Structure 1
Amino acid sequence: SSIHRVHATEGNFNTSVGLPLTLLTLDDSHSISILELGANQPGDIEYLCTIVEPTHGIITNIAPAHLEGFGSVEAIAKSKSVLFNSLENGIAFVNTADERIVDFQIPGEKVTFGLSSDSDFPADIHQENDGTLTLILDTHVVATGTMNLSFVKNCIAVSSIAVTLGVKWEEIVGKIQSFTPPPGRCQVKQLVGITVIDDTYNANLVSSLAALDYLKAFSGNGRRIFVFGDMFELGETAPEQHVKVGEKCNEIKIDGVFTIGENAIHTDSAINGGIEHRHFSSPADLITSLKKNLHAGDKVLFKGSRGMAMERIIERVFEN
């Protein structure tokens, strides 16, 4: 930002160990610190709030992630709501598209954003003929140049915060249009004539379904193929959630699905409708099959939880 010197969380330093290490890099030259608070069990957010003492807070969504530690989506919502409870003298940024977040009690000031006209920052998203998305936000029209719906939705949230903190619209638009995704976050690469969508940083049900929508948006010649590894920390819901990913593949009618992992076999079992699909028990077999079956012009999405190391699959498939 031209008006703020920003300090921020790097990587996944968002835990009871990583967050204090991040704070050690904060100094008097910074005017804003943007900190991610991570949680995989009840009480984590509450503890991190006592360390950070936030003045502003945003909860992007409530999703069925880390269910192994939380037990239910309701427990996740309750744990995350503590952030807003800690903002009695601060500002809570509320996503009106998430019904659970809308229901949270807000003790301090509230700023709303979302795809509804009664939000403080109302937005709309329009798809252009080439598949790219245009964001209309509070009367400002932003040609994003991307087909990534999740990114554009995040732009709505970020813009509401930036404007509230005094950043000019012209600068916000420039940052949106020049943004380059970091490795593993829907990063698009061209490798030997194949479009590779590297979304390997992590995976839960919501992010996996969103990534498939992104794959669907790619048009032109060539097949759309999904290479999918297990989603972790889902507890007893793991089979059901992996089946839902398979059902999404059927819905958007992609051309091929290659799965690997103990739970991704449930995704494979849900595939029908003539979609080519194969499940693998070892990375070596998956890599060998992909090398034989991928062709120039294909669009290939790689996705899986951090522990599946799907980025290594990409490296091995396209080495040399």
Structure 2
Amino acid sequence: MKPDLGFIARTLNPVMENHTTDNLDLAGVSIDTRTLTPGQLFAALKGPSFDGHQFIPQAIKGGASALLVEQDWQGSAAVPVIRVQGVLDALTRLARAWRQKVNPVVIAVTGSSGKTTVKEMIALCLGQHFTRVHATRGNLNNHIGLPLTLLAMSSDCQTLVVEMGMSAAGEISHLAWVAQPTIGVVTNVHPAHMAAFASLEDIARAKGELLQALPHDGVAIYPSQRWETPLLSEMARPRLELSFGTDEKAQVSARNVVTQDGKVGFDLHLPPGIMTPLHLDAPGQHMLANALAAAAAAHAAQTLLTAIARGLSQFRLQKGRGQMITTPNGWFVIDDTYNANPGSMTAALARLGDEQGSRRIAVLGDMLELGEMSKSMHEGLATAVIDAGVSRLFTTGKLMHHLADSLARHPAIQVDHRHDAGDWIGVLPGLCQPGDRILVKGSRGMKMERIVEDLCNHAV
């Protein structure tokens, strides 16, 4: 069961029209008439460049059972109308109240990279132990997506996994106030959104807001033996702390790691001294770290070790997030186009370096939102490219030319640069050979998925 009309009325104390019964069950909440399903509440969000009130006729036609609108909306409808001062604020308060009513174990995940992957891994692990698990769909991780995630939770939910993104200080604190997590995971801290922060430490503090928001009996989870570890540990106190990593000091760790045929085998160690072997169908040290973070969170939620192992073994890489695609032309494309920052780019290049093939090729687009550090961060990828054994480097964008320039005279790497990702369409397939391993990665705004589609579908 989802929130009903009576719950909304009691929580918001709004002005109600056509309110004949509190027992009207709602099938959830929608803010988009294109995805609205019959029986849902339509929330008419209003923003700088859009007004959901304009789509109320479509919502009614699509079967909306009630409307959440601004107090000054001039229209009327045959279905119940809930008038409030601020639709987004009302959704936020509703979501917080619904979380309190359902009262599941809430696990929140944030970090510079790996958030969505870790969230999916945690949900898989929990699903092997609990019967009713709910998690953020896709990456609905902001001040709008999080309330929608909470309001989509059924009243019998046992465990909830939410993803939290941010681009400025204070945003994680707000999201944590809404979701009230009892377990918090910081996957890592890399340079990202640098235009909004004075330093990398400021980013770490913004991510660490999640740990500070946990109750004192909550569990704070963060990576072991990284530069941000001491700061995150300080922000976590006095809560229970769990660190994860491949080093001996990590409380949740991987030992005897072996990579073969695109899979990672390792012994998963959890406190207090329990261990199980497992295989992860996702290569790369960054994916191993993601799995350890997920295992730590599931363990903190009292999930059985066997359930954690089963859940992780079921994980599969998704489109745009490191999925390996075998093309009809005989080359292999690593589709890592969803987004990029220096940390995730370095990790993806390291994974490419682990691949066996005739050649390793990197097709890299700009990493955006790095502010004054843009030039140095792009140039700084040169070491990762060299260490990965890349023989051909294709770059695109106004910023990635800094990397291209820094490697232009390297004797073992052939470098080519073009201004726009679209400039490579129809060109790259003619430069690839059967057996090539090709990494394609860049920030979301670069639309690097166009290159993946071309490499996969272009006949040569």
TM-score, scaled to structure 2: 0.66
Q: Partner letter of residue 250 of structure 1?
A: I
Distance in 1 (CA, whole Å) between partners of 2:154 and 2:173 is: 24
Distance in 2 (CA, whole Å) between partners of 1:147 and 1:81 is: 28
2:23 aligns with: none
Distance in 2 (CA, whole Å) between partners of 1:29 and 1:219 is: 47
1:213 aligns with: 350
- Report the CA distance between 1:95 and its aligned residue: 2.0
Q: Quick check: 1:62–1:101 contact (8 Å CA) kept in 2?
A: no
Q: Quick check: 1:149–1:210 contact (8 Å CA) kept in 2?
A: yes
Which runs of no fewer than 5 residues in structure 2 stay unpaired?
1-126, 270-274
Q: Quick check: 1:227–1:301 contact (8 Å CA) kept in 2?
A: yes
1:224 aligns with: 360
Q: Quick check: 1:128–1:134 contact (8 Å CA) kept in 2?
A: yes
1:13 aligns with: 140
- Report the CA distance between 1:2 and its aligned residue: 3.3
Q: Quick check: 2:426–2:454 contact (8 Å CA) kept in 1?
A: no
Report the more deviating stretch, 271-280 or 92-101. Answer: 92-101
- When residues 89 and 166 of structure 1 are mapped into structure 2, their CA distance, relative to the original with a 3 A threshold, is closer
Distance in 2 (CA, whole Å) between partners of 1:13 and 1:170 is: 30
Distance in 2 (CA, whole Å) between partners of 1:129 and 1:307 is: 33
1:122 aligns with: 253
Q: Partner letter of residue 123 of structure 1?
A: A
1:177 aligns with: 313
Q: Partner letter of residue 127 of structure 1?
A: V
Partner deviation per Cα, 1:84-115 (whole Å, 9 max, x = no partner): 11112311123223232333322322223322
Q: Partner letter of residue 164 of structure 2?
A: L
Partner deviation per Cα, 1:60-98 (whole Å, 9 max, x = no partner): 111111111123201101111211111123111232232
**Residues matched between the structures, number:** 319
Q: Partner letter of residue 216 of structure 1?
A: G
Q: Partner letter of residue 141 of structure 1?
A: P
2:128 aligns with: 2
3-state DSSP class of the match of 1:300? strand
Partner deviation per Cα, 1:209-262 (whole Å, 9 max, x = no partner): 100111111114x21100001111100101111111233212332111101001
Partner deviation per Cα, 1:103-153 (whole Å, 9 max, x = no partner): 332232222332233433233252356574322221322233543221111
Among 174, 193, 196, the residue aligned to 1:69 = 196
Report the more deviating stretch, 172-181 or 222-231. Answer: 172-181
Distance in 1 (CA, whole Å) between partners of 2:266 and 2:301 is: 21
Choose 1 or 2 for highest CA Rg: 2
1:54-133 matches, within 5 Å, as: 54-87=181-214, 88-104=216-232, 105=234, 106-128=237-259, 132-133=263-264
3-state DSSP class of the match of 1:182? coil
Distance in 2 (CA, whole Å) between partners of 1:233 and 1:146 is: 28
Q: Quick check: 1:65–1:204 contact (8 Å CA) kept in 2?
A: yes
Q: Quick check: 2:141–2:164 contact (8 Å CA) kept in 1?
A: yes
3-state DSSP class of the match of 1:156? helix
2:73 aligns with: none
Distance in 1 (CA, whole Å) between partners of 2:220 and 2:423 is: 48
- When residues 283 and 115 of structure 1 are mapped into structure 2, their CA distance, relative to the original with a 3 A threshold, is closer
* 1:196 maps onto 2:196 in alignment: no
Q: Quick check: 1:117–1:123 contact (8 Å CA) kept in 2?
A: no
3-state DSSP class of the match of 2:228? helix
Distance in 1 (CA, whole Å) between partners of 2:434 and 2:375 is: 33
Q: Quick check: 1:113–1:156 contact (8 Å CA) kept in 2?
A: yes
Distance in 2 (CA, whole Å) between partners of 1:230 and 1:40 is: 18
TM-score, scaled to structure 1: 0.93
Partner deviation per Cα, 1:148-169 (whole Å, 9 max, x = no partner): 2211111111112212322222
Distance in 2 (CA, whole Å) between partners of 1:299 and 1:147 is: 14
- Report the CA distance between 1:291 and its aligned residue: 2.3
Q: Partner letter of residue 84 of structure 1?
A: L
Partner deviation per Cα, 1:156-205 (whole Å, 9 max, x = no partner): 11112212322222222222222211111110010121101000010000
Distance in 1 (CA, whole Å) between partners of 2:377 and 2:299 is: 37
- Report the CA distance between 1:273 and its aligned residue: 2.9
Which runs of no fewer than 5 residues in structure 1 stay unpaired?
none
Distance in 1 (CA, whole Å) between partners of 2:428 and 2:256 is: 35
Q: Quick check: 1:61–1:101 contact (8 Å CA) kept in 2?
A: no
Taking only aligned residues, the RMSD between alpha carbons, in angstroms, comes to 1.8
* 1:304 maps onto 2:442 in alignment: yes
Q: Quick check: 2:360–2:392 contact (8 Å CA) kept in 1?
A: yes
2:379 aligns with: 243
Distance in 2 (CA, whole Å) between partners of 1:145 and 1:32 is: 25
Distance in 2 (CA, whole Å) between partners of 1:251 and 1:290 is: 23
3-state DSSP class of the match of 1:76? helix
* 1:279 maps onto 2:435 in alignment: no
- When residues 44 and 230 of structure 1 are mapped into structure 2, their CA distance, relative to the original with a 3 A threshold, is same
